[in-house]
């Protein structure tokens, strides 16, 4: 494993920056990356940073209510179970390590210790022990890049992090980006140039720019495609797997955030909607929440979740019926059965024909009377 960067070095030559929140988001993402690497070097580095901060400014008792969460933190999903676990530990053994905050006027922005801060609020604590850090100087968006490619992060967090990056880099609105992306991808698919776009993911920056220009896209489409390629993301995959997460119903987003519902399960459950079931929104939401609870409590797989959704759909939607060529041919055949043919047919064969016709008439009546 490559040697980890020394975290405390990132606090040297601290500066006061106007884009402070964005830099904090990047730093938080860097920590998330290091934590995701499960490196044994990480926690000692954070502990070393705490010691250095303690030596410089000491430990403070800070009011829990004076601490603001970092709204730009890429990882937004912290389950209630995780917070409750920390709360039980803090209630039993107290706060083991101080949180790390960054001063913002008379308030503090939380840099490290999201779960401890949430647990303190759950326990009704008034203060937390903390050390103050200054703004790091040398972090850049590579931290976000690494964050986006974490496999352990849920699709909703990834989608929101990507759309936030795209709005910053392109200047376009949140609503405009998915629409523009879908439009250009459909056009490239129709023209047979979709594979040409996918091949640019691993190309050099110069080759990506030239390749996008050769596709004949407009200015906004070019901005989005280049921004995604710059993040080493396949635009088609982002459109298919991540953008749908942004339009999930609130109840499904809440289940992802608070109960650990997986993105693929959420997309399967989103089929349970007023539009697809032709029922009221209130009724659809009730069905969706009940199904979500079952998926989580029974730990259903994605295929099992889709089976559950199919059963719910079957409750409300009758199977589509259509004209049958086979039935049309039989009707015409019976109509062609002339009296002359019937008269010349043996009684045994006529009895057999009557029995078959009577049986089929009975089955037809059953279907029509349902």
Res 55: pLDDT: 63
Residue 15's pLDDT band (cuts 50, 70, 90): very low
Q: In the predicted model, is pLDDT for residue 293 greater than 90?
A: yes
The whole-number pLDDT of residue 89 equals: 87
pLDDT number for residue 14? 44
Is it the case that residue 21 has pLDDT exceeding 70? no
CA distance 42 to 34: 6
- CA-CA-CA-CA torsion sign (97, 103, 108, 113): negative
**How far is it, in rounded angstroms, from Cα 252 to Cα 300?**
16
Work out the pLDDT band at 223, boundaries 50, 70, 90: very high
Q: What is the mean pLDDT of residues 27-48?
A: 62
High-pLDDT (> 90) share of the chain, %: 37
pLDDT tier at 20 (50, 70, 90 boundaries)? low
- Residue 160: how many other CB atoms lie within 10 Å: 17
What pLDDT is attached to residue 140?
Answer: 38
In angstroms, how far is CA 66 from the centroid of its own chain? 31
| pLDDT exceeds cutoff 90 at 85 | no
With beta carbons less than 8 A apart as the criterion, state whether 7 and 49 touch. yes
What is the pLDDT confidence band of residue 2, given thresholds at 50, 70 and 90? very low
Intra-chain end-to-end CA distance of the chain, in Å: 67
Q: Which of 74, 66, 77 is nearest to 31 (CA)?
A: 74
228 and 205 in contact (C-beta within 8 Å)? no
pLDDT of residue 143: 46
């Amino acid at each position: 494993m490559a040697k980890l960067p020394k975290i405390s070095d990132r606090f040297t030559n601290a500066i006061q920056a106007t884009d402070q929140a964005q830099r904090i988001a990047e730093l938080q993402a860097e920590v998330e990356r290091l934590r995701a690497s499960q490196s044994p070097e990480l926690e000692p580095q954070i502990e070393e940073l705490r010691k250095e901060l303690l030596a410089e400014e000491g430990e403070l008792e800070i009011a829990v209510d004076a601490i603001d969460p970092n709204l730009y933190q890429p990882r937004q999903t912290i389950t209630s179970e995780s917070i409750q676990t920390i709360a039980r530990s803090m209630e039993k053994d107290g706060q083991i390590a101080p949180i790390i905050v960054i001063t913002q006027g008379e308030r503090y922005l939380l840099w490290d210790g999201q779960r401890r801060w949430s647990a303190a609020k759950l326990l009704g604590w008034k203060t937390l022990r903390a050390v103050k850090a200054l703004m790091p100087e040398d972090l850049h968006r590579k931290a976000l890049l690494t964050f986006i490619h974490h496999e352990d992060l849920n699709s909703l967090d990834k989608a929101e992090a990507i759309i936030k990056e795209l709005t910053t880099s392109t200047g376009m609105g949140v609503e405009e980006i998915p629409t523009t992306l879908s439009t250009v991808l459909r056009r490239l698919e129709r023209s047979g140039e979709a594979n040409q776009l996918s091949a640019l993911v691993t190309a050099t920056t110069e080759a990506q720019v030239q390749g996008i220009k050769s596709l004949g896209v407009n200015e906004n489409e070019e901005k989005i495609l280049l921004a995604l390629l710059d993040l080493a993301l396949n635009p088609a995959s982002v459109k298919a797997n991540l953008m749908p997460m942004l339009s999930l119903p609130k109840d499904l987003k809440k289940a992802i955030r608070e109960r650990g519902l997986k993105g693929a399960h959420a997309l399967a459950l989103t089929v349970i909607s007023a539009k697809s079931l032709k029922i009221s929104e209130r009724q659809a939401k009730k069905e969706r929440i009940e199904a979500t609870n079952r998926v989580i409590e029974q730990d259903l797989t994605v295929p099992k979740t889709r089976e559950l959704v199919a059963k719910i759909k079957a409750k409300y939607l009758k199977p589509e019926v259509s004209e049958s060529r086979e039935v049309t041919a039989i009707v015409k055949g019976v109509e062609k059965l002339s009296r002359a043919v019937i008269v010349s047919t043996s009684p045994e064969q006529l009895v057999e024909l009557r029995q078959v016709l009577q049986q089929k008439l009975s089955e037809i009546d059953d279907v029509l009377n349902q």
